[in-house]
């Protein structure tokens, strides 16, 4: 692609580019750009909301640029205050390290491993002295910090703001100085932080990075951004059936937004969906299948689609049979459960079904040691035709 074509391609879906002239000039230099994305390891998993920026980073990779993923194992101990109405709880180094390991396993579902530079910001922050911290803090005024909407709201409402939270944007910006980023990606809630990095680079004598701001993906509720803490997320490691089912639950209005930010559908397809030429249910099924196939493969996506139809759409012999079982124990061995439900006539037959991978609980294959918990209604499936909605309950008290 020419620099002009690259600019048009990379600018798709972006809310804003600070500044477009800088990005055009850098692309015209004809060298691989260093493109930064930071992820704080504050939770063990990533979700589809994270993949909006990760996919943009992959586009830079595919155009020959150098992707730099910053795992914020040090900044995660503070917690990004962006968009928060209260101070985040601080994590231990052990919690962050465990989360960071999981993050790295999952980002390679999107990014090309061989064209990725991974850095942990503890590389430079762990050695910071108090003098270094004071010097960095001196590059920002309290007045500018309070320009941030989230800080301003908390200040005006009397909600506490920790002094350490003021350090976060400076630390994220310092990451850009250290790795010499040409471009940094982030969501709209990261705009302030991205521009701080630009200012710190200029203060250090550099050109200042281009900030490419991406839209935030709304969660399944259609109102707040996707977040594990809000429970409105689709995790990239969710089972195929859970992922498919969650995506089928979104509203028709939200579906178009998900297509724009997550799908690889072309403009013709998007126009057809927007015009109503494709029925919303079919469009939603196509979207769910595409995303499940991306993370689990097309065969598992086909299975998830069939599972959804069998469980939620068909009102026939294939509909799950409600079954309530009484048990003194808090759980039941899967082979015993299969006999009690009537899906196996003997323990040996139940063992055979499990060993063949024919037995699933809530869409996930189970092993011979699986024990069915007394916690909630769960879908027990043997093959594609035998389905039961099983509830395990305590015996009534005397």
Dump pLDDT digits (tens) for 377-391: 788 888 766 888 888
**Does some domain include residue 229?**
no
pLDDT score of 379:
85
> pLDDT-derived band of residue 135, with 50, 70 and 90 as boundaries?
very high
**Does some domain include residue 223?**
no
- Residue that finishes a domain, picked among 156, 179, 214: 214
> Do 195 and 107 share a domain, yes or no?
yes
- Considering Cα of 111, then 113, then 115, then 119, what sign does the dihedral take? positive
> Do 187 and 271 share a domain, yes or no?
no
> Do 188 and 276 share a domain, yes or no?
no
- Residue that finishes a domain, picked among 287, 313, 339: 313
Task: Look at phi and psi of residue 185 and say left if phi exceeds 0, alpha if psi is from -120 to 50, else beta.
Answer: beta
> Do 204 and 332 share a domain, yes or no?
no
Whether pLDDT at 317 is above 90: no
> Do 288 and 388 share a domain, yes or no?
no
pLDDT above 70: percentage of residues in the chain: 93
Whether pLDDT at 89 is above 80: no
> Do 306 and 327 share a domain, yes or no?
no
pTM, 2 dp: 0.74
> Do 115 and 205 share a domain, yes or no?
yes
> pLDDT-derived band of residue 73, with 50, 70 and 90 as boundaries?
confident
**Does some domain include residue 253?**
yes
- Domain of residue 181 covers 3-214
Number of domains in the chain: 3
**Does some domain include residue 158?**
yes
**Does some domain include residue 230?**
no
Residues 6+ apart with CB under 8 A from 203: 139
> Do 54 and 129 share a domain, yes or no?
yes
Whether pLDDT at 168 is above 70: yes
> Do 206 and 293 share a domain, yes or no?
no
**Does some domain include residue 167?**
yes
Give percent helix, percent strand, percent coil of the chain, each to the nearest 5.
50, 15, 35
User: Residues 153-173: what's their mean pLDDT?
Assistant: 87
Compute the distance between CA of residue 104 and CA of residue 53 in angstroms, rounded to an integer.
Answer: 15
CATH of the domain at 42: 3.40.50.620
């Amino acid at each position: 692609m020419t620099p002009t074509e690259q600019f048009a391609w990379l600018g798709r879906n972006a809310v804003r580019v600070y500044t477009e002239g800088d990005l055009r000039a850098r692309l015209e230099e004809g060298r691989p750009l260093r493109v930064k994305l930071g992820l704080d390891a504050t939770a063990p998993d990533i979700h589809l909301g994270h993949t909006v920026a990760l996919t943009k980073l992959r586009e830079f990779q595919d155009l020959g640029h150098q992707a730099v993923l910053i795992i914020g194992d040090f900044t995660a101990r503070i917690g990004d205050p962006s968009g928060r109405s209260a101070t985040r709880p601080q994590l231990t180094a052990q919690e962050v390290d465990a989360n960071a390991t999981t993050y790295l396993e999952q980002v390679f579902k999107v990014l090309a491993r061989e064209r990725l530079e991974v850095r942990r910001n503890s590389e430079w922050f762990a050695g910071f002295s108090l003098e270094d911290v004071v010097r960095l803090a001196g590059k920002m005024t309290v007045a500018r910090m309070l320009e941030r909407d989230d800080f301003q709201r908390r200040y005006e409402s009397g909600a506490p703001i920790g002094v350490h939270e003021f350090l976060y944007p400076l630390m994220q910006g310092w990451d850009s100085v250290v790795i010499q980023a040409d471009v940094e990606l982030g969501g709209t809630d990261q705009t302030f932080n991205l521009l701080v990095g630009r200012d710190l680079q200029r203060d250090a004598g550099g050109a200042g990075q281009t900030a490419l701001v991406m839209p935030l993906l709304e969660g399944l509720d259609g109102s707040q951004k996707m977040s594990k803490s809000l429970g409105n997320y689709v995790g990239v490691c969710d089972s195929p059936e859970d992922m498919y089912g969650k995506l089928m639950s979104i509203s028709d209005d939200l579906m178009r937004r998900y297509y724009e930010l997550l799908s690889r559908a072309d403009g013709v397809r998007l126009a057809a969906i927007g015009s109503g030429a494709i029925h919303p249910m079919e469009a939603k099924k196509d979207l769910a299948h595409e995303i499940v196939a991306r993370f689990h493969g097309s065969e598992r996506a086909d299975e998830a689609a069939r599972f959804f139809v069998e469980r939620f759409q068909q009102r026939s012999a294939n509909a799950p049979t409600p079954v309530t079982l009484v048990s003194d124990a808090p759980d039941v061995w899967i082979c015993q459960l299969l006999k009690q439900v009537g899906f196996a006539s003997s323990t040996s037959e139940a063992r055979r079904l499990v060993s063949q991978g024919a037995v699933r609980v809530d869409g996930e294959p189970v092993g011979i040691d699986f024990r069915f918990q007394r916690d909630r209604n769960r879908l027990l499936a043997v093959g594609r035709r035998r389905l039961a909605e099983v509830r395990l309950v305590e015996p009534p008290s005397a």
